[in-house]
Structure 1
């Protein structure tokens, strides 16, 4: 059983607005993900909730999880974090090899092992490892069929604390069997929440009866000016996606330079080899013996 600290994190007496300095921080680990555009909000929500325990259901390459972890580390919170995944993939995310888990583990071990645990198993298997009423921030990003995401929420609901917030990715995806939007519409009839439309959509559901002051203030501000809040985070998220695309261009340019350098090196080696062959031929006995013949041919050409 994973237990949280007896000393609960508390939010500063100074309210956190809808953004903070963390919202503008560049992600440390820009790995492939459909979650890039929500990195600024992930950084903010960790500060706003000040969770004792963060749980992510569905981690894949780890981008969203590392954003939570980076915000925990940067804020100096006494927070535990757990990532739950089989790391084999599914029919929505696609199936992948062991290298994905190894990459996530390598980053986690190097930067976040002090407070972060990778639970390799199903979401249901992880239930027994977490105390009821202990999860302050839950991110659900597993299979996206209605029955799947409904089961994930219902089974983990007893684990949620009195100040809990649940994040749902892909609430703006409507094709290919995605139905998180349907559950989102149902849950917002029961709980207060706010939905972002960019980056495939992110639902922010306040499930706890005693949310932090910062979370309550966010909901109040978002209710007054929802499009302003959405546009702010859409703009911040676009910067992260742009940074990721730039990093891909740097990687490709580096690969191409290495390829060209290899080709140049190979060409130089070929030239040296040909020069050596020519020198060997000129120094050979047959070259010396045929020298008079070559001279006669040269003379004949000039006479013609």
Structure 2
């Protein structure tokens, strides 16, 4: 009789459980601060095992750091992220905002632009606030623009509104435009909206185009590494002073 050693075999499940247990212990050691620089440094220090070996962050350091300073100063109680993928920025939002009550991830089970995550990642991401009782994490696996996803989000929000929204999902012009138009209606009047890849000009990417249109209607900031032609973070302030 052959022993099946596929991804669902008993051996693989035992191996994954051991990797997760060890990775949880490693993760616990870095959950020590809400200081932005220390949080960003902790990502580099984390060394897990197996599927949970790293917290991957697809960001330019100073672009993200500058954005984090504004977000932390705002003290958001409710945070939503569209496009979580490997959890790098989701980890950052959970750690630099100790007063946050709800942090919500919306992403496909899989998708373009490196997007999507599976149940194993959710299990790991849920440990990002293991040391905090006041913060509730929610994971919605679905198309950010679908009625079913919005229904689940409304259930999580209840009577609350979103204080900080980070959009890093569908990078097409039509996709980013629709995400903003849908989710801005669920936001606090003084909310912040962050956009990733406002400086990326790859084929199929339309974030830069939409950003250049939408930013004219709001007070805004851009965080772009000098001379760079990739990534970049944009931030708009919904409150018009």
Change (3 A) 1:176 1:111: farther
Residue in structure 2 matched with residue 209 of structure 1 by the alignment: 240
Shift of 1:81: 1.6
Q: Does 1:24 align with 2:48?
A: no
Q: Does 1:159 align with 2:186?
A: yes
Q: Does 1:187 align with 2:214?
A: yes
Query: Residues 42-98 of structure 1, C-alpha deviation per residue, up to 9 Å, x if partnerless?
Result: 43123221112111111111111111111112xxx2542212223x23121156655
Aligned residues: 185
Change (3 A) 1:43 1:201: closer
Q: TM-score scaled by structure 1?
A: 0.54
Residue of 121, 133, 145 corresponding to 2:172:
145
Residue of 99, 103, 116 corresponding to 1:81:
103
Residue in structure 1 matched with residue 140 of structure 2 by the alignment: 120
Change (3 A) 1:189 1:202: same
CA contact (8 A) 1:145 1:177 kept: yes
CA contact (8 A) 2:60 2:231 kept: no
Query: Residues 107-141 of structure 1, C-alpha deviation per residue, up to 9 Å, x if partnerless?
Result: 33634564132222222414423357711111011
**Which is higher, the Rg of structure 1 or of structure 2?**
1
Matches within 5 A, 1:1-304: 22-27=35-40, 28-30=42-44, 31-35=55-59, 37=61, 38-73=63-98, 77=99, 79-86=101-108, 88-93=109-114, 98-105=119-126, 107-108=127-128, 110-111=130-131, 114-122=134-142, 123-124=144-145, 125-126=149-150, 127-129=153-155, 130=157, 134-198=161-225, 200-209=231-240
Shift of 1:175: 0.9
Give the secondary structure class of the aligned counterpart of 1:90.
coil
CA contact (8 A) 1:141 1:168 kept: yes
Change (3 A) 1:43 1:196: closer
Q: TM-score scaled by structure 2?
A: 0.67
CA contact (8 A) 2:224 2:231 kept: yes
Q: What is the rounded CA distance, in whole Å, between the counterparts of 2:113 and 2:170 in structure 1?
A: 6
Which sections of structure 1, spanning at least 5 residues, go unmatched? 1-20, 211-304
Q: What is the rounded CA distance, in whole Å, between the counterparts of 1:154 and 1:81 in structure 2?
A: 20
CA contact (8 A) 1:144 1:178 kept: yes
Q: What is the rounded CA distance, in whole Å, between the counterparts of 1:135 and 1:113 in structure 2?
A: 20
Change (3 A) 1:139 1:34: same
CA contact (8 A) 1:160 1:208 kept: no
CA contact (8 A) 1:36 1:63 kept: no
Which is helix-richer, 1 or 2? Answer: 1
